[in-house]
Structures are given as C-alpha cells and as structure tokens.
C-alpha cells in the first residue's frame, strides 16, 4: 500500500513548565475529529482540527494571556510553507512554530533569545526550557501516518466501538511512542504503539477497534 502524505512539524511552548512541545502532523492525522498535542507535564495542549471548509484551526496556549489563542490557516500554508509562526496579538510573543524541522528549531532558538532579553538577560530563568530533540521526541512519520490512515479508515467504516450506544466522538493524542484514540464522550480509549514499522503493519490488518 502506498500512502500519499503531507506532514509538517508543529511546536509550542508550555506556559506552565516552559518546555517546548513538538509533534509531526500528517494529512491523515487530520482526518480524525481532533488532534491534540499534549505537554508531558499534563497542564497544556495544542489542538489541531481540519474544518469542513478544508482549513486548519489551531488552538495553542499563551505565555501571557489566561486563555489560549485560536488561528485559522489554509491547508497549503500549514503543510507547504518552510516556516510560519503564530504569535500573541497582545504581547507579540511567538507561541506556535510550524514548518520544517530545522526551520522550527532555529525559530525556537531565536524565540529563546527574545525571552531572555525580555527577562533582563536572566538565562537561568529559562534553564528548564527544552529544545527539540529529534532522536527522542519525534515519532517516525511513516509509522505515524500508517496508524492514522488505519484509524481514519476504521472510523469511515464504522468499525470503532466505544461505550456510547450510538458511537462517540473521537479525538487523537500523539505521544512520543504511541497514538491514543479516545472517545470525548464516554472516555473509552485505545493506545497504539508507533515505535516500529512492524507494529504499525500489524495494526494495518486490523478490521475492528474497540475502545475500553
């Protein structure tokens, strides 16, 4: 099976712990009801949704404002631009970085420098900020796309089952080593490993998925 895919890297800075949270977003992934990129501290998340008009709605937490900011961008801009940055209209701080891996990493470094300057040059205040670690943090995009393709295929065929009597609404969370699909109504979920092509190929033959 040959999967035609588009993918981009999305990163945001958690306002609670200061870590940079990153994740690859693929075109198949956006066929789910919602894609959530969560910080490991559990206190923040970025939401990515494909609208009925074919645009991408991105909601990210803010370093300054108490509520997250929501942006609407074209699909071509989301997947094809080498780098674009979403910022807070109040403070001007960069909140979300989208594009190629190298371009996003460079933009985050520049953002760190700007934050240090804002804090009066106190580098110690940013010592807990984590830079992108490609070897550790990023799931293999090929494996991720296979898993997301199967999830979308099962959902289209009505082969995802949860505790809801007439079916639920499903959200997808991408973690370092797995994808979690969860019903937003009853809370039932399933975790699918994305650590190897072999495991993804096993999942490829799945005909029915039960969330528990």
Decide which of 199 and 25 is more confident: 25
Predicted confidence at residue 49, as pLDDT, reads 86
Cβ atoms of residues 152 and 204 within 8 Å = no
Q: Which two tokens stand for residue 7?
A: 């993918």
Predicted confidence at residue 167, as pLDDT, reads 76
Cβ atoms of residues 154 and 208 within 8 Å = yes
Confidence of residue 119 (pLDDT cuts 50, 70, 90): low
Q: In this structure, are strands 209-210 and 160-161 parallel, antiparallel, or unpaired? A: parallel
Cβ atoms of residues 45 and 22 within 8 Å = no
Decide which of 139 and 104 is more confident: 104
Predicted confidence at residue 118, as pLDDT, reads 67
CA distance 140 to 193: 11
Predicted confidence at residue 98, as pLDDT, reads 93
Confidence of residue 59 (pLDDT cuts 50, 70, 90): very high
pLDDT tens-place string over residues 157-166: 888 888 888 7
Please give the radius of gyration of the chain, using alpha carbons only, rounded to the nearest integer. 18
Give residue for tokens 């940079």. Answer: 20
Mean pLDDT lowest among 102-116, 128-142, 176-190: 128-142
Predicted confidence at residue 85, as pLDDT, reads 93
CA distance 132 to 22: 7
Task: Indicate whether 116 pLDDT > 80.
Answer: no
Q: What average pLDDT does this structure show over 28-57?
A: 79
Q: What is the dihedral of CA 43, 139, 176, 153, to 10 degrees?
A: 80
Nearest 5°: phi and psi at 45?
Answer: -160, 150
Nearest to 141, CA basis, from 68, 64, 76, 197: 197
pTM of the model: 0.60
Task: Indicate whether 61 pLDDT > 90.
Answer: yes
The dihedral through the CA atoms of 71, 73, 79, 85 has a sign that is negative
Nearest 5°: phi and psi at 30?
Answer: -80, 0
Predicted confidence at residue 31, as pLDDT, reads 55
């Amino acid at each position: 099976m040959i999967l035609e895919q588009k993918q981009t890297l999305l990163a945001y800075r958690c306002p609670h712990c200061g870590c940079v949270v990153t994740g690859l977003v693929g075109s198949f992934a956006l066929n789910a009801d919602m894609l959530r990129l969560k910080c490991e501290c559990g206190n923040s998340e970025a939401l990515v949704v494909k609208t009925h008009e074919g645009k991408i709605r991105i909601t990210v937490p803010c370093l300054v404002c108490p509520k997250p900011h929501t942006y609407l961008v074209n699909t071509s801009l989301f997947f094809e631009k080498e780098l674009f940055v979403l910022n807070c209209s109040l403070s001007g701080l960069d909140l979300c970085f989208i594009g190629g891996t190298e371009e996003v990493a460079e933009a985050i470094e520049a953002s760190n420098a700007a934050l240090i300057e804002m804090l009066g040059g106190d580098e110690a205040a940013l010592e807990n900020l984590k830079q992108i670690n490609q070897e550790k943090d990023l799931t293999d995009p090929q494996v991720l796309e296979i898993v997301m393709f199967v999830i979308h295929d099962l959902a289209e065929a009505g082969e995802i089952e949860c505790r809801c009597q007439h079916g639920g609404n499903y959200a997808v969370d991408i973690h370092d080593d797995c994808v979690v699909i969860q019903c937003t109504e009853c809370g039932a979920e399933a975790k699918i490993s994305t650590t190897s092509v072999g495991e993804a190929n096993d999942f490829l033959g799945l005909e029915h998925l039960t969330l528990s």
